[in-house]
Structure 1
C-alpha cells in the first residue's frame, strides 16, 4: 500500500475519488438528495434520483467525448449534472454550456413524432476557485436565459448554478440555513477531526459515515490516496506556475508554457497510477475516478 500516513479523519471532497464516492454512488444516494434539496431551497423537493451514465460521446465518432462527475435524473425525469472543479479553466463557462447540450440532446425521441418538449436541465458547478469576470462577493450564482430589456426569465428549464467556494467564509457559529451547512462541510470536511455540533441533522449521518477514512477497505484507501496525490500535485503545479508568472511579469507566457509541460507530466503520472491500480485488480470504473483518465484509455494501458 502507498499510504503516507494520512492524518485527516475525513476525505477531501475536492478529490475525484471522494466526490464521486459521496455524491455519485447508489450507496450514498441520500447524501446527494439532501444536498440538492438544500440547494433548491424548497423550489422543488427531490424524493429520489436515478444515476445515469457519466460518459458521453458525440453523435459522430470524431466528436469530443464528455465525462461528467455526477449525472442523474429526479423522479420527474429532470436532468441534473454536477461538476466539482478543483481549478480554473480558461473557457470554463464555454465548457458548462457545451456539457449542457448532452442532457438536452439525449431527450430527443427517435423514430416517432416528437413535439420538442424537454424536461428541465440543471448544471451545478462546485468551484474551488473564483471566476475572474464575476466581481460580486456572493458565492452563489443562478443563471437562466433572460430577456435583457425586462430582466424576466425567458426560459426556465435550463439552469446553471455556480458555487464559488473560496467566497464562502461562514464559521460554524454563523451557519443559519441547511444550505449554509452543506457549504461549510464541503469546504472544511478534510480539516474536521469530529462532527461539528451545528451539523447534527440526520441528512449528515450518512455523509460523515461514508467520509471517514478509517472505515475504508485497503483497496479503497489505496484508491483514495492516489486520487489525493493527483489533487495535491495538480494544485502544486498550478500554484507554482501562478507564483512564478506573477514574479516574472512580462514572462508570464513562459510560465504558462512550463505549467502546461508539468500538466503533461501529471498526465504521464496518472497513466502510471492507472497501470498500478490495474495490476492490483481495481475495477476500471474506480481507476477512472481516481485518475480522471477515460475508461477506453485505461483499457488500452
Structure 2
C-alpha cells in the first residue's frame, strides 16, 4: 500500500516540509525547540544554498538548507541519509562559510553573529550503548567551560530516538516522532493534533501534489531507497569478507572495498557513489576498472 505522506528523509520530502517559503513557520517551530531563549527565531529568510570559496579553485559547499534569522543569526540545516567518512570534519568545514561571509570590507571589529549547524541524521555516529539521540557541541576549555558560544553544532541521531506515542513529553519529542514515523501514518495521531503538526501533515500529503511534484518525489524516493539498499548490502557483504570491527585493515582499503561492492550492485552512478563515500569520482572510476 502506498504511503499517504512523504518520506521526510528524502531530499524532496525534507525540503517540502522545511525548505519552502510558504512553510518556513514549520522550520522556525522545529529550530526553536533546539535553541536557547536568547536565540529564538521570530522570522527567517532562506539564503543561497551553494557557497563558493574565496578563490575560484576553492572547494564549494552545497547545503540542504541555509537561512538567517531576523536578528542575523545563521543556520545551516542538513539532512544526512548515510554515514560518511569524516562527516564531523565536513560539518566543521561547512561552518566556515557562514563565518567568513560575515567579514566586512575595511575596518572591522571581528564581531560575529551566532552560527548553528544542525544535522538530522538517519544513522548513528558510532555503535555504542548510549541512548542519547541529541548532541550539542560547542568549543570548551580543559575544565569543560564554554569558551565560545557563537558556534554550535547540533546532531540528532534519529535511529536512537525510540520513544512511543504515549511517551512524548515535549514539543521536541513530538517533532522527532513526526519526522521518524511520518511515512507510516494513515491519520493524524491524537497526540499530534496541534495546529503546527496539522499544518505539517497537510504539507506532507502526497495526494495534494501536482504531477511535477509527484514525479520529483518519486525520483527522490527511489534514490533514497537505492541508497539505503547499497549501504545495507555493502555493510553485509563487507562483514562476510571480514572487513570492519576487530579486523586489522586500513581504513582506506576498507573504504575502497565498500566502493567496489557498491559498484557491483549497479544501482548508483559513479558520481553518486563518490558523493556517498566522500571521494573523488576519478577514484571510483579507477576502482571500477579493478573489479
Deviation digits for residues 175-220 of structure 1, max 9, x if unmatched?
A: 0100000010111111111111111121112211110000000110
**1:226-241 equivalent positions in 2, closer than 5 A:** 226-241=219-234
Aligned to 2:124: 130
Q: Deviations over 1:100-131 (max 9, x none)?
A: 00000000012x21110000000001000001
Q: Does residue 263 of structure 2 align to residue 261 of structure 1?
A: yes
TM-score (norm 2): 0.85
Correspondence list, 1:178-189, <5 A:
178-189=171-182
Count of aligned pairs: 263
TM-score, with normalisation over the residues of structure 1?
0.82
C-alpha distance in structure 2 between counterparts of 1:169 and 1:265, whole Å: 31
Match of 2:14 in 1: 19
Kindly provide the CA deviation profile for residues 34-89 of structure 1, in whole angstroms up to 9, marking residues without a partner as x. 10112226453211011100011111111111110111011110000000000100
SS at the partner of 1:143? strand
Q: Does 1:109 align with 2:111?
A: no
Where does residue 43 of structure 2 map in the other structure?
48
C-alpha RMSD of matched pairs (Å): 2.0
**How many Å separate the matches in 2 of 1:11 and 1:88?**
22
Aligned-partner Cα distance in 1 for 2:243–2:103: 50
Counterpart of 1:74 (choices 64, 69, 73) is 69
Could you list the runs of 5+ residues in structure 2 that have no partner in the other structure? 245-252, 273-291
Counterparts in 2 of 1:89 and 1:62: CA distance versus 1, 3 Å: same
Distance 1:259 1:105, change over 3 A: farther
My pick for the range that moved more, 82-91 or 246-255, is 246-255
Q: Aligned partners of 1:151, 1:269: CA distance in 2, in Å? A: 42
**Given that residues 262 and 268 in structure 2 are in contact (C-alpha distance below 8 angstroms), is that contact kept between their aligned partners in structure 1?**
no
Does the 8 Å contact 1:234/1:263 carry over to 2? no
Match of 2:167 in 1: 174
Unaligned runs of 5+ in 1: 1-5, 271-301
2:115 corresponds in structure 1 to 121
Distance apart, 1:259 and its partner CA: 3.5
